[in-house]
A and B are shown apart, each in its own frame.
Chain A
Amino acid sequence: MSCLGYFAGNSPVHRLDPRVRLLGAAALSVVTAISMRFAVMLWALGFAAMLAVLARLDAHLLVRRLLRLNGFMLLLWIVLPWSAPAGSAAAGDGTALPEAGVQWASAITLKGNAIVLFFTALVATIDPPRLPCALKCLHVPEKLVHLLALTIRYTDLIHDEYSRLRRAMRARAFQARFSGHTLRTFGYLIGLLLVRGMERSERVLAAMKCRGFDGRFRALDGFALRRADALFAVVAYLHAGIWIWMEQA
């Protein structure tokens, strides 16, 4: 299965147990999200960057991901310093440095980047077919796991179908503009994808039924915790714990 573009690889992070990575990413991002202290945010960003380096993520893809995020952060840097609540910054109308807003914007930028890096390094590196199995082991409802597994597969299929249709449109000299014609064409394109998808799903259901589908999700590969997994779990949770302690100190 070739899923659009996850971060494939064979780094120490890729070899970690997906369950441990999911739980670790959840704990680390939640603690980062609720953090109020710059020391914690900086440490989180550093730790996340270290994980990204350890995972040997494709630098080009990673930079694109972060650029998108920080393009939005740029908007914050433009808006927030001038609209920070009155009274929090030094008094004076516009003469004093809008410190509160700058602090706010930097906190958001640090947190956002750290959380996205955690997610990319730990979760986006899980092989897509193994992701549902790992979630099932973590007691995510079976129906949801099944839905995810099938959606991963169908995203590939529908994307292929979509590319084919776009190619056909290009062959007929279609050019996207902001016009009624373009929007109607895109509407029909989506409609066609929907109808073909539905018909395909009916066939898939019939094929699944004839193989005894009863709604249960059977994970074929078992997971076994190794020493590296335990080590990573200890390190990740130690970090989360220290950060919570730093918040309260």
Chain B
Amino acid sequence: MHVSEGLLSVPVLLSGTALAAVGVGFGLRRMQVDSTPKTAMLAAVFFVASLVHVPIGPSNVHLILNGLAGILLGWTVFPALGVALFLQAVLFQFGGLTVLGVNTLTMALPGVAAHFLFRLIYRPGRPPWVAFWLGAVLGASTVVLSGAMLTTALALGGRAFLGVAVGILVAHVPVMVADGLVSGAAILFVQQVRPDLLGPVQPEMAP
């Protein structure tokens, strides 16, 4: 979910960039030096995931998966998605320099929320369907939240943009469904294969 260049008003661009910078700074401070390769690897996975197209009727949508990224990365999702978005701008056509901050903020902040909700609800050893539906619901609602933030950012530029914003939001309903179910299945997979990635394995679980 990206907003194009030239759309947003100057105050929105400025405050978005400032808030994103704060988030990236905070995320970097939380990121231990030793987890740099891990974070980079996850950023790369989410970059590549955005190349996965799900066909819908005659058209298709690409995955966003910022909820999944948030669940796995926590606050570090800010620098990770910021870097991924910058690379996307370098390699493809999404956005440019001035919207980088706003895009990072709208993608990463809901991801952080998903992270804390996931940590709050999920406990290791829960049955697989809990992991799946938790991932699916959080994945889908992250997309909704990002869409809502984007809509707000657009609407702040003037009432006239509401039409455009609503159009974007409606276009994202299939993305929401696809993203949610894919996130759920991915969480399920990770839970089965590497449960430690979803949170600290509790010591009392050890025999």
Contact = CB atoms under 8 A, between A and B. Distances in A.
B79 A80 contact: no
Contacts of B110: none
Contacts of B41: 150, 154, 158, 197-198, 200-201, 204
Interface stretch (A9-17, A22-30, A223-231, A234-242): A22-30
Interface string A188-200: 1111111101101
Interface in A125-146: 126, 128, 131, 141, 143-144, 146
A244 interface: no
B38 interface: yes
Interface centre among B13, B28, B52, B186 (most CB of A within 10 A): B186
B36 A187 contact: no
Interface centre among B40, B54, B86, B158 (most CB of A within 10 A): B40
A47 B68 CA distance: 41
A107 B53 CA distance: 32
Contacts of B84: 151
B93 A186 contact: no
Contacts of B183: 187
Contacts of B167: 75, 79
Given A33-B6, A178-B55, A194-B42, A204 B190 contact: no
Contacts of B96: 29, 115-116, 118-119
Instruction: Report the contact-size class of chain B (Cβ under 8 Å from the partner).
Output: 35 or more
Interface residues of A, number: 89
A6 interface: yes
A198 B185 contact: no
A112 B5 contact: yes
A243 to B, nearest CB: 14
A191 B164 contact: no
B38 A205 contact: yes
A196 to B, nearest CB: 9
B55 A177 contact: yes
A194 B190 contact: yes
Interface in B14-34: 24-25, 28, 31, 33-34
Contacts of A49: none
Contact of B97 (A69, A76, A123, A176): A123
B145 interface: no
B145 to A, nearest CB: 20
Contacts of A188: 185-186, 189
14 contacts: A69-B93, A107-B6, A110-B6, A118-B97, A123-B97, A151-B44, A178-B57, A186-B185, A190-B52, A191-B193, A197-B41, A204-B37, A204-B41, A214-B33
Interface of A: 3-6, 25-26, 29-30, 33-34, 64-66, 68-69, 72-73, 75-76, 79-80, 82-85, 101, 104, 107-113, 115-116, 118-119, 123-124, 126, 128, 131, 141, 143-144, 146-155, 157-159, 162, 176-178, 180, 182-195, 197-198, 200-202, 204-205, 208-209, 214-215
Ranked nearest first, the 8 interchain pairs of A and B with the lowest CB-CB distance are A187-B185, A191-B189, A112-B6, A150-B40, A111-B6, A215-B33, A154-B44, A65-B93
Given A112-B5, A115-B97, 11 more contacts: A116-B93, A123-B89, A124-B91, A147-B31, A151-B43, A162-B52, A178-B55, A190-B49, A191-B189, A208-B37, A215-B36
